[in-house]
Structure 1
Amino acid sequence: MNRALIVVDVQESFRQRALWRAVNNPQVVARVGELVAAARAAGDLVVWVLHAEPGSGTVFDPASGQVRLIDGLVPEAGEPVLTKTSHNAFTTTNLQQLLTGRGIREIVVCGIRTEQCCETTARVGSDLGFGVTFVTDATATFPSPHWSAPADLTVEEILADPRTLPARAMVERTEYALAGRFATIATVAELTAGMLTRS
């Protein structure tokens, strides 16, 4: 085993936010599930990562009860479940040590949000020397309000604002930023076919 699937922040916290109804990839949980099944069949390590903001009083505060995997995703025995407080999955966890201790040299990144925690994890992983595959269609994100927009906009106001960056543009930008620099871009179908062939 020299490859690990890193599942980033596929957690109930996101489903509790109003913006969830504008998610660009409603099938993200099913697609992550496909990757998990293929990784297990290939003998790859699956690492689950959750994002927490202790004391924030938000849905990312562990006290909310929402910092847990979305229903349908269940770690198997021996699969690490890490909790991070930074955008990437490395800085505030022992992920790097866990991977290097097991001789893992390649990581596959999927999860929520495409341009934020997933992209940042891919960038840091690459800088740490791991080969990175980024599975865009097993990630999800949301339209992004303009940086100067008020923080309390409703979903309808966000979507109506012409300055809002559509999720498709965010995903495209992430792929352009990662490809050839930090990661190889792949689809679920491409990656699962390769995993099953290798196993």
Structure 2
Amino acid sequence: MSRTALLNIDTQQSFQHRDYWQEKDTPAFQQAMLGLIEGCASRSIPVVDIFHVDEDGPFSLQSGYVKPMAFLCHQPAVIFHKHVHNAFTDTGLDRWLRERDINRLIVCGIRTEQCCETTARVACDLGYAVTFVGEATLTFPMTHKVIALSADDLRHRTETVLDGRFADIKTVVETLESL
């Protein structure tokens, strides 16, 4: 029997205080996140909120921004703080999941190619079945040397490298239908 949890990675106000923050993709992200969270909650699937914390800046606890974005109104089953890109290292998340016999994870949140992708990879390596819901992740354009990647490019790249290796790639609807 598969037991499932939804990992909501870094959907926190800290990002709105970074110079790369953009509103362009936010409405679609919010709609996808709310649908996914609501669908999981209605199926008694625990929602786990994970927040990134740094020593200073908008990701520090002192900033007051390490809290859910304003559009989120769910009650998480538990909250973990992380200090690295994945949600498992030194957080207690793995122990919490195993104590509840949870072996399937749904990943969503902010940044698609960083903390969401890294969490999906580590979760797979730890033996969890992972569903990655790209439309319920958010990221921002990046440039490396002369190559610019849009948020859509980064999402596509992440889904491509995860699919069939580290995670099943599904939409919100496909994810909820599979539960």
Normalising by structure 2, we get a TM-score of 0.93
Residue in 2 aligned with 1:37? 38
Residue in 2 aligned with 1:123? 121
Q: Which structure 2 residues correspond to residues 41-190 of structure 1 after superposition, within 5 A?
A: 41-54=42-55, 56=56, 58-76=57-75, 79-146=77-144, 163-190=147-174
Greater shift in the superposed pair: 103-112 or 18-27? 18-27
Deviations 1:106-140 (A, max 9, x none): 00000000000000000000000000000000001
Q: Which amino acid aligns with 1:40?
A: A
Deviations 1:74-124 (A, max 9, x none): 342x61011110100001200000000000010000000000000000000
Rounded Cα–Cα distance in structure 2 between residues aligned with 1:28 and 1:68: 17
Q: Counting strand residues as a fraction of each chain, which structure ranks higher?
A: 2
- Quote the offset at 1:9 in angstroms: 0.3
Rounded Cα–Cα distance in structure 1 between residues aligned with 2:31 and 2:65: 19
Detail structure 1 runs of 4+ shifted over 6 Å in the superposition. none
Contact 1:25/1:139, CA 8 A, preserved across alignment: no
Rounded Cα–Cα distance in structure 2 between residues aligned with 1:23 and 1:115: 17
- Quote the offset at 1:25 in angstroms: 4.5
Contact 2:37/2:74, CA 8 A, preserved across alignment: no
Higher Cα Rg, which structure = 1
Contact 1:88/1:117, CA 8 A, preserved across alignment: yes
Q: SS at the partner of 2:33? A: helix
Greater shift in the superposed pair: 126-135 or 24-33? 24-33
Q: Which amino acid aligns with 1:45?
A: P
Percent of residue pairs bearing the same amino acid type:
40
Rounded Cα–Cα distance in structure 1 between residues aligned with 2:10 and 2:133: 14
Tell me the matched-pair count: 178
Rounded Cα–Cα distance in structure 2 between residues aligned with 1:23 and 1:140: 10
Normalising by structure 1, we get a TM-score of 0.84
Rounded Cα–Cα distance in structure 1 between residues aligned with 2:133 and 2:86: 16
Contact 1:23/1:142, CA 8 A, preserved across alignment: no
Deviations 1:46-81 (A, max 9, x none): 100000102x2x1111111111100131342x6101
Residue in 2 aligned with 1:159? none
Please, what is the CA RMSD of the aligned residues? 1.7
Greater shift in the superposed pair: 86-95 or 28-37? 28-37
Q: Which sections of structure 1, spanning at least 5 residues, go unmatched?
A: 149-161
Rounded Cα–Cα distance in structure 2 between residues aligned with 1:29 and 1:15: 14
Rounded Cα–Cα distance in structure 1 between residues aligned with 2:13 and 2:152: 23
Q: Which sections of structure 2, spanning at least 5 residues, go unmatched?
A: none
